Amino acid sequence: MIEQVLSKKVRWIGAVVAFGLLAGGPAQASEKAELTTAPKVPAAIKRTAPAKVVINFEAKEYVGELADGQQYKFWSFNGTVPGPMARVRVGDTVEFHLSNHKDSTFPHNIDIHAVNGPGGGAAVSLVAAGEEKVFQFKALNPGLYIYHCASPVPNIPAHIANGMYGLLLVEPEKGLPKVDHEFYVMESEFFTQPSGKKGVLELSMEKGLAEHPDHVVFNGKAGALVGDNALKAKAGDTVRVYFGNIGPNGTSSFHIIGEIFDKVHVEGSLDGAVNKNVQTTLVPSAGATIVEFKIDVPGDYLLVDHSIFRVAKGAVGILSATGKEDPAVFKSIK
């Protein structure tokens, strides 16, 4: 008799737990992260509760364009330099999957600066070619964070200098104010020498150690944000730029010629200092910032690293704004 009562009670408790899980009770919802290629930014998060977010990256080595007529042996996440941008919410549990393409020459891993844990995840994610590693972390701190490879084989600088980096945004609980446009821009240096393959460049460790880059670029190559690839907006629009600087050596003096940043979230923090009316903001190696501004009049606005000789090395982009002139703000007189 007692056994029958206990058996019924156990079945009842099991049914209640199962119903709770099916109804979205104590279990977190699960979703796959939207990943975007620079300069695109993932959509703002609309949910108001934490979730389990799955992010899938693949380490991949490939040959691609670095500058006009120059090919380079890139190492990447998901086949792009910079790697994809992901967006989560503070309180989310992130399940991170890192695979390594079967044709890769080296093992790769990932150090995510948003992670509170050994190596930012690098300690548990070193993955050989053709294999996968998975780890989990809780997004505890809102902000804009760099991620990069930190594999010791052949050395950490080589993985960073060859293109393995990107941005992860951790939104605050209440999200961010709506703007008309959001853009993902990443600055990086390349140190080159001829490889064994004709017409293809590879990393020069000698130039890297001397801190003499041949190229300083936005979004992985010279000209990534000019011509048909220029950022587009209209006069009157509000703009938010998520800007990262991987270095691997230099500090960026990020500036948009003809604009003043209405807000600068210093060092990518979303619950820290916010500076207003800023002309140029410093972004350290492996650091980030979030700048916001309103475009008052139409025209072409140059994004630059105002360590100005770097413009000649490729650190320049264009934000092209159309719309109605406002002579009260700006006009040519003669």
pLDDT digits (tens, 9 = 90+) for 166-176: 999 999 999 99
| Helical spans, DSSP H, in 191-330 | 205-210, 309-312
- Show the CA angle centred on residue 85, arms to residues 34 and 105, nearest 5°: 105
Same domain? For 194 and 112 the reply is no
* Backbone torsions φ then ψ of 291, nearest 5 degrees: -115, 145
Same domain? For 204 and 167 the reply is no
Question: In this model, does residue 112 exceed pLDDT 90?
Answer: yes
Query: Which of 146, 171, 196 is the last residue before a domain boundary?
Result: 171
Question: In this model, does residue 69 exceed pLDDT 90?
Answer: no
Mean of the pLDDT values across residues 136-155? 98
- 209 alpha carbon, distance to own chain's centre: 25
Within a domain: residue 239? Answer: yes
Same domain? For 292 and 189 the reply is yes
Q: What's the CATH code of the domain at 271?
A: 2.60.40.420
Question: In this model, does residue 289 exceed pLDDT 60?
Answer: yes
Among residues 310, 270, 243, 294, which one has the least CA distance to residue 38? 243
Same domain? For 165 and 187 the reply is no
Same domain? For 231 and 254 the reply is yes
Within a domain: residue 24? Answer: no
Same domain? For 165 and 296 the reply is no
Rounded-to-integer distance, Cα 166 and Cα 80, Å: 10
DSSP 169: E
Within a domain: residue 39? Answer: yes
Rounded-to-integer distance, Cα 227 and Cα 245, Å: 23
Model's pTM, two decimal places? 0.91
Same domain? For 121 and 240 the reply is no
| 14-28, 65-79, 235-249: the lowest-pLDDT one | 14-28
Question: In this model, does residue 60 exceed pLDDT 80?
Answer: yes
| 6-10, 92-96, 137-141: the lowest-pLDDT one | 6-10
Same domain? For 207 and 309 the reply is yes
Within a domain: residue 244? Answer: yes
Same domain? For 249 and 196 the reply is yes
Query: Which of 137, 171, 205 is the last residue before a domain boundary?
Result: 171
Within a domain: residue 2? Answer: no
What's residue 29's pLDDT?
Answer: 81
What's residue 13's pLDDT?
Answer: 41
* Structural domains counted in the chain: 2
Within a domain: residue 334? Answer: no
| 23-32, 104-113, 153-162, 192-201: the lowest-pLDDT one | 23-32
Residue-level length of the chain? 334
CB neighbours of 177 closer than 8 A, spacing ≥ 6?
none
pLDDT digits (tens, 9 = 90+) for 5-52: 445 544 544 443 344 444 444 566 899 999 999 999 999 999 999 999
Within a domain: residue 13? Answer: no
Rounded-to-integer distance, Cα 187 and Cα 288, Å: 10
Same domain? For 186 and 137 the reply is no
- 201 alpha carbon, distance to own chain's centre: 25
Is the Cβ–Cβ distance between 84 and 92 less than 8 Å?
A: no
Mean of the pLDDT values across residues 188-200? 95
The tokens describing 143, both together, are 């902000």
pLDDT digits (tens, 9 = 90+) for 211-234: 999 999 999 999 999 999 999 999
Same domain? For 197 and 161 the reply is no
Query: Which of 138, 171, 204 is the last residue before a domain boundary?
Result: 171
For residue 226, the enclosing domain spans 181-322
> Average pLDDT over the chain, rounded to whole?
93
pLDDT band at 196 (very low <50, low <70, confident <90, very high): confident
Helix, strand or coil, per DSSP, at residue 185 = strand
Within a domain: residue 209? Answer: yes
Same domain? For 232 and 145 the reply is no
Give the rounded percent of residues in the chain with a pLDDT score beyond 90. 90
